[in-house]
Amino acid sequence: MTTEIGRPRDKRIDNAVLRATVELLGETGYAELSVDAIARRAGTSKPAIYRRWPGKAHLVHEAVFPIDEDTTLPETGSLAGDVREMVRRTAAVLTTPAARAALPGLVGEMAADLTLHSALLERFAGILSRGLTERLQDAVRRGEARPDVTAAEVVEAVAGTTFLALLTRGDALDDTWVDRTSAFITRGIAA
């Protein structure tokens, strides 16, 4: 049995810090974002933030890419529908002003810090792949997907394609892009 020492964490502080982080990212960008500014905006202290997150990158990652019920992939009943929904949701998350501001800095910090890299990739994969293994198994049973395809590979294809499109395309990732990208990925994993 584990006993918690001290007061329980105040969710209001967590929420205020996450909200302040997203707001400030849009205003200042990742490079100029400071934990001090986040603390001031959230009405808390730097030590309160560092008790919750080990550093700016972890905080930004959680603020920009939250894990909650909305990140669970809804059942569409088909491999094509599941892939399309993954692509649509990934594009929606990565094209927010906060994500656009955060990603260059996060990628740079991840490249320099292997521990951070592992922690953030593990968390990000968890966001994208919630329930995906079971969906792939269902698709294999329906004859829609090859049995050798893994959830991690699908996540890499969806997130990687979306991320590269954000870096290289001047236009928005609209429904036409989502449809074409989804069809391309679906054909790649089809039985």
Q: pLDDT at position 32, please? A: 96
Say if 6 falls within a structural domain: no
Say if 70 falls within a structural domain: yes
pLDDT at 8 over 80: no
Q: Which of 10-24, 59-73, 83-97 is the least confident region?
A: 59-73
Average pLDDT of the segment spanning 58-74: 81
Host domain of residue 108:
65-189
Q: Which helix (H) or strand (E) holds 37?
A: helix 35-42
CA 63/CA 180 separation, integer angstroms: 30
pLDDT at 5 over 80: no
Q: For position 118, which CATH number holds? A: 1.10.357.10
Q: Are residues 70 and 133 in the same domain?
A: yes
Q: pLDDT at position 1, please? A: 43
Say if 81 falls within a structural domain: yes
Whole-number average pLDDT of the chain:
88
Number of domains in the chain: 2
> What's the token pair of residue 158?
């969806």
Instruction: For residue range 26-52, list pLDDT tens digits in order.
Output: 999 999 999 999 999 999 999 999 999
